[in-house]
Amino acid sequence: MAKANELLKLDNQLCFQLYSASRLMTKLYQPLLKPLDLTYPQYLVMLVLWEEQMGHKFTVTNLGQRLKLDSGTLTPLLKRLESKHLIKRQRSSEDERQVWIRLAPLGDSLKSQAKRVPEKLLCETGIKEQDLNTTRELLKSLFDKADF
Amino acid sequence: MAKANELLKLDNQLCFQLYSASRLMTKLYQPLLKPLDLTYPQYLVMLVLWEEQMGHKFTVTNLGQRLKLDSGTLTPLLKRLESKHLIKRQRSSEDERQVWIRLAPLGDSLKSQAKRVPEKLLCETGIKEQDLNTTRELLKSLFDKADF
DNA sequence: AGTAAATTAATTGTGTACAACTTAATTTTT
DNA sequence: AAAAATTAAGTTGTACACAATTAATTTACT
């Protein structure tokens, strides 16, 4: 059937556009994150932490819900951030199952440098902020609409 | 500056929407690909091969350009597809640097099952084909426009 | 209270991604 | 033709992702 063949073509699949756009985006961020010594997923974790005041505590589960990542990904990533002295990991004494994650002073001070990253990205890629917002909204609504 | 703080918020970043949408998409495909015993990136490689007649030969570089993946990713992935007898890898005799990749009979026969995957995905997620097309076009134009 | 069920991180194993490098083969220069 | 540059695929090392499992703890329930 012609229809199924068309659907099967790589370029016609949203999945592939998303997949390659996402990886491209990571590559675009890389040179901007290198001075901060952060990988892209590490940067995302820091973004979440930076949204709150310095003393704010997150559990690993909190971060996971926000970023849609599980402990299998987060635990080693957070250990790497800790070894760079950007965050502190501390097992909760109230509930020994939980581990509190919070900004360390070095991680907090990194925020001012990070603030320049989004505008630099727009600038360097020549992406119009309007186009970017449109795409972002469309993606968000598409995935909010579907029930998963 | 308020503007920079807003830009820094996770939800305002297209990068994060792309990143999580892409991973979500992978997860949605997973149950559909499991019967085919394919991972999502393996499925993408197969899509490229299925676009051509059975005898068509691709080099690793060809596939890499199409999928925007390098040999460091493709070589082990292709070896896994070969071990499942879905493709054949054969070093070219004309140019010994190259390796020809082509569908094996089993890989070719898998195409008929794979044809159902895209429609099943739309069906199971309730995503409207129209919304999907709009997003796909917007993403494509956004990334074609930027010069990278 | 005491046990079952649920929750939280961590661990294990597989499979990408990709930078940087290596090796071998081919092409271009000189 | 020999040297230099380029190209193709593979290798190595690091860092995700994530399914499945485990271990420790807490909560719920009888």
Write the CA distances from B12 to A31, B3, B20, integer angstroms: 21, 11, 13
Per-residue tokens: B107 = 């890989």
Is the Cβ pair B68, A24 closer than 8 Å?
yes
Write the CA distances from B67 to A11, A24, A66, B127, B147, integer angstroms: 10, 12, 29, 24, 18
A12 in B contact zone (CB under 8 Å): yes
Per-residue pLDDT tens over the stretch B122-131: 888 888 888 8
Task: Identify the pLDDT of residue B9.
Answer: 77
Task: Identify the pLDDT of residue B38.
Answer: 98
Best interface-test mutation with A: which of B1, B12, B18, B113 has the largest number of A CBs within 10 A?
Answer: B18
The beta-carbon contacts of A57-61 under 8 Å, at least 24 apart in sequence, are: A57/A100, A57/A101, A57/A102, A58/A100, A58/A101, A58/A102, A59/A92, A59/A98, A59/A99, A59/A100, A59/A101, A60/A98, A60/A99, A60/A101, A61/A98
Confidence bin at A130 (pLDDT 50/70/90): confident
Q: What's the CA gap between A136 and B3, in Å, rounded?
A: 18
Nucleotides of D under 7 A from a protein CB: 7-13, 15-20, 23-27
Task: Identify the pLDDT of residue B123.
Answer: 85
Confidence bin at B3 (pLDDT 50/70/90): low
Q: Is the CB of B39 under 7 A from strand D?
A: no
Closest to A84 (Cα-Cα) out of A31, A38, A32: A38
Percent of chain A with pLDDT over 70: 95
Task: Identify the pLDDT of residue A35.
Answer: 96
Per-residue pLDDT tens over the stretch B100-119: 999 999 999 999 999 999 98
B residues 69-88 closer than 8 Å to A (CB): none
Task: Identify the pLDDT of residue A13.
Answer: 79
B144 in A contact zone (CB under 8 Å): no
Percent of chain B with pLDDT over 90: 69
